[in-house]
């Protein structure tokens, strides 16, 4: 006789059969389903395809665990970061959530919300698998607290190849901002279809403004960038800071006027469709070209943001093991997959990033990423991104987005320089990491 049918797992059914002497009835309600809940902000076409593929690797490995993805839309986590803070504070941390390596995890670490996972690192032999620069960014006071899934490069200009070809522009020559702005003038010019706004920007969420400034600052030289992230650029008359802001101002003269209504991926779509020639964006943009079936080298191409050839910015996504999660074992299993070779070589080819691991199977990566892997290996300087949480304290980074968003509207160089240096001074106690980039 069938009384109540709570179908859970094979193990529960077998137990019920044994207890019931072969009869199909269940004496007690089934235990709650075995669940893993993760939060992330990967909601654009390319981002979603990548995280779904990573979740599939997990499901193959742990078929009895149901995965609940809780995506919070908003590039660079500009919405999710706040959501996550309230959840963690309320004791409702999910089993794992997307977070950038470096400073972004510090407030959680300082407040005691993260579990050390050095044992897991040892068990999985990750010390040998990840480069030192990456390891250091997920290690606080000698213990590991997170697992990196990728390395994204932020200092990339994406271009529409047919548009540049039509105007006779050779992208390999665009190595300085002056040459880049000359190319923008050419794109505007009479020969071929005129493009009034050659650069696509979508600054919904403000972070893309910071993103562009950051790459311009990197182009001012690694020493200046290092000073900036170490909190040492405190004078509003600093010539390199002023020069970076002037460059950004010129850049804005070539940007679409509806930028505040576009998200980052909508801006990339304009390059895909040929409504714009250029966009400065991290290489998650490659995921958008990928889902649009565009071919690298034929439809689109890339070059390092002017002044940063030989430099590789670091945007590193990771997951952690928050304290007191509902499904601790599943949380650790998720981290195992995140840090695994198979997980990384499944996720990153779609995402646009390169693996954080050193042993990636390069044959699985497309043409852009093969070049990125080579650039990473050959890079003279690596620099952690501020726009993406790693390089500078949160107190400064949060201000930065507002300052840059105001700048994009008022284009007031000295006001922005004053606001930036004030923000650095205000956050001076929080600069606890001393970066050494050369
Ligand atoms: C970055 C993140 C990337 C990508 C991007 C746009 O902060 O590291 O993985 O998703 O935001 O959302």
Interval 218-227 mean pLDDT: 98
Which of these, 367, 300, 316, lies nearest to 154 by C-alpha position? 316
Q: Which atom of ligand 1 is nearest to the CA of 351?
A: 9
Q: From the CB of 101, is ligand 1 less than 6 Å away?
A: no
* Å from CA of 353 to ligand 1 middle: 10
Q: From the CB of 347, is ligand 1 less than 6 Å away?
A: no
Q: From the CB of 76, is ligand 1 less than 6 Å away?
A: yes
Burial class from Cβ neighbours inside 10 Å (0-12, 13-18, 19+) for residue 371 reads middle
Q: Which atom of ligand 1 is nearest to the CA of 389?
A: 7
Of residues 11 and 91, more confidence is placed in 91
Which of these, 429, 326, 411, lies nearest to 106 by C-alpha position? 429
pLDDT band for position 33 (cuts 50, 70, 90): confident
Q: What is the pTM of this model?
A: 0.92
pLDDT score for 193: 67
- Separation between Cα atoms, residue 409 and residue 163, nearest integer Å: 28
Q: From the CB of 103, is ligand 1 less than 6 Å away?
A: no
Q: From the CB of 47, is ligand 1 less than 6 Å away?
A: yes
Phi-psi region of 117 (alpha: psi -120 to 50; beta: other; left: phi over 0): alpha
> Which of 284, 391, 394 for a ligand 1 pocket mutation test, highest count of atoms within 8 Å of Cβ?
284
Interval 160-166 mean pLDDT: 96
* Å from CA of 98 to ligand 1 middle: 10
267 has a pLDDT exceeding 80: yes
75 has a pLDDT exceeding 80: yes
* Å from CA of 74 to ligand 1 middle: 9
Pairing relationship of beta strands 300-304 and 139-140 according to DSSP bridges: unpaired
8 Å CB contact between 280 and 255:
no
Question: How far is CA 96 from its chain centroid?
Answer: 16
Q: Tell me: the pLDDT tens digits for 350-375?
A: 999 999 999 999 999 999 999 999 99
8 Å CB contact between 66 and 9:
no
Q: From the CB of 315, is ligand 1 less than 6 Å away?
A: yes
Q: Tell me: the pLDDT tens digits for 81-122?
A: 999 999 999 999 999 999 999 999 999 999 999 999 999 999
Q: Tell me: the pLDDT tens digits for 302-314?
A: 999 999 999 999 9
State both tokens at 142.
């000698």
- Separation between Cα atoms, residue 321 and residue 43, nearest integer Å: 22
Q: From the CB of 152, is ligand 1 less than 6 Å away?
A: yes
Q: Which atom of ligand 1 is nearest to the CA of 100?
A: 8
Q: How far is CA 222 from CA 208, 281, 336, 371, 428, in A?
A: 21, 20, 35, 22, 21
Which of these, 10, 6, 44, lies nearest to 25 by C-alpha position? 6
- SS3 labels along 310-326: CEEEEECEEEECECCCC
* Å from CA of 41 to ligand 1 middle: 8
The residue whose CA is least distant from atom 1 of ligand 1 is 76
Interval 57-64 mean pLDDT: 98
Percent of all residues in the chain with a pLDDT value above 90, rounded to a whole number = 91
State both tokens at 148.
């990196």
């Amino acid at each position: 006789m069938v009384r109540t049918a709570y179908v859970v797992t094979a193990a529960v059914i077998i137990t019920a059969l044994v207890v019931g002497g072969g009869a199909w009835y269940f004496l007690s309600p089934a235990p709650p389903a075995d669940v893993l809940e993760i939060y992330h902000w990967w909601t654009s076409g390319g981002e979603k395809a990548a995280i779904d593929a990573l979740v599939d690797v997990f499901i193959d490995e742990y078929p009895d665990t149901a995965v609940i993805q809780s995506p919070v839309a908003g590039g660079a986590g500009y919405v999710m970061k706040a959501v996550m803070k309230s959840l963690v504070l309320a004791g409702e941390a999910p089993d794992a959530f997307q977070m950038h390596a470096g400073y972004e995890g510090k407030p959680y670490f300082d407040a005691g919300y993260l579990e050390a996972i050095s044992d897991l690192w040892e068990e999985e032999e990750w010390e040998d698998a990840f480069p030192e620069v990456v390891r250091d960014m997920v290690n606080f006071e000698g213990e590991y607290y997170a697992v990196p899934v990728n390395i994204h490069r932020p200092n990339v200009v994406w271009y529409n190849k047919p548009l540049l070809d039509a105007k006779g522009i050779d992208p390999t020559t665009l190595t300085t901002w002056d040459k880049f702005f000359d190319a923008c003038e050419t794109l505007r010019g009479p020969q071929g279809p005129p493009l009034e706004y050659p650069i696509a920007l979508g600054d919904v969420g403000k972070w893309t403004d910071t993103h562009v400034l950051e790459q311009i600052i990197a182009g001012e030289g690694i020493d200046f960038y290092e000073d900036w992230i170490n909190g040492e650029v405190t004078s509003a008359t600093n010539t390199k800071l002023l020069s970076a802001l002037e460059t950004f101002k010129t850049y804005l003269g070539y940007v679409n006027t509806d930028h505040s209504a576009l998200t980052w991926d909508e801006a990339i779509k304009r390059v895909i469709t040929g409504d714009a020639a250029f966009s400065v964006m991290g290489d998650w943009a490659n995921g958008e070209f990928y889902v649009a079936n565009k071919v690298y080298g034929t439809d689109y191409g890339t070059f390092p943001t002017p002044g940063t050839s030989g430099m590789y910015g670091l945007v590193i996504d990771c997951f952690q093991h928050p304290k007191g999660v509902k499904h601790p074992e599943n949380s650790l299993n998720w981290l195992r997959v995140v840090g695994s070779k198979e997980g990384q070589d499944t996720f990153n080819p779609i995402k646009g990033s390169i693996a954080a691991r050193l042993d990636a199977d390069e044959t699985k990566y497309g043409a852009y990423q093969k070049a990125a892997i080579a650039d990473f290996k050959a890079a003279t300087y690596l620099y952690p991104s501020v726009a993406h949480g790693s390089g500078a304290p949160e107190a400064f980074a949060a201000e930065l987005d507002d300052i840059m968003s105001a700048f994009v509207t008022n284009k007031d160089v000295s006001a922005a320089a004053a606001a930036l240096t004030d923000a650095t001074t205000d956050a001076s106690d929080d600069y606890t990491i001393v970066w050494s980039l050369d």
